[in-house]
Amino acid sequence: MYLKYKITDGDIARGRAKNTDGVGIVTTTGTSTIVGTATTFSFYENSNYIQVPDSVIGIEKIFKFDTSSISGGMFSIKYQLFLNDLYYFNSVELLQYAMVKSYLEDIDFLLTTDKQVRFNKRQDRLYLDIDWGAQDSGDFLVIECYRALDPESFTQVYNDSFVKQYLTALIKRQWGQNLIKFQGVKLPGGTELNGRQLYDDAIRDLEEIKQRMFSEYELPPMDLIG
């Protein structure tokens, strides 16, 4: 899905922090004994990240937000191309137009490249390696990400067939673990509890569900070429 975030003055202050002090500077130290003397090593980093919701499980990219001379504004090349060359639909061959557009996109890619981002799920932090000093408060970032559904808001999650099969197998495993303690106990009528068999069946069911998850639900790994 796509999430939109509004940049604040605090984000810019933390992101553009420099030297070893100031707003947004974080210090990490390490201590080691060198020639009998305890030596402390200090490392500094700025807080160039924004805190994302815990439900976000993965971030692909953020969309371009720099002003491009190729595709934006009245004086852009795209606008001038339509103004001067496309007087009517038959004035330019479609093949030539497609080639010109592809060439302009290549130039735009070189001038305004995609921003480098780093996402840490354990901290719910999206690090933006950009020039924070060139950003304006009030601008928006559009983030392409994956977000887990909240079962409290979307209760149909509990009705998923995969979830129900997985839950049944877990309950079966727990039931088997409880009955293992009473192995050999006979119930009225001669029925004997067999917790070990129930537990082994549940383990086998969970393994089958795991293999099905890998083969049907997981995205295939990308091929490495080169």
Which tens digits make up the pLDDT trace of 135-160?
888 988 899 999 988 888 888 888 88
d(CA 32, CA 35): 10
d(CA 142, CA 121): 18
Residues contacting residue 192 through CB under 8 Å, at least 6 positions apart: 184, 185, 186
Which tens digits make up the pLDDT trace of 155-180?
888 888 888 999 999 999 999 888 88
Structure tokens at 150: 């909240």
Q: Model's pTM, two decimal places?
A: 0.64
C-alpha torsion 178→180→181→184, nearest 10: 130
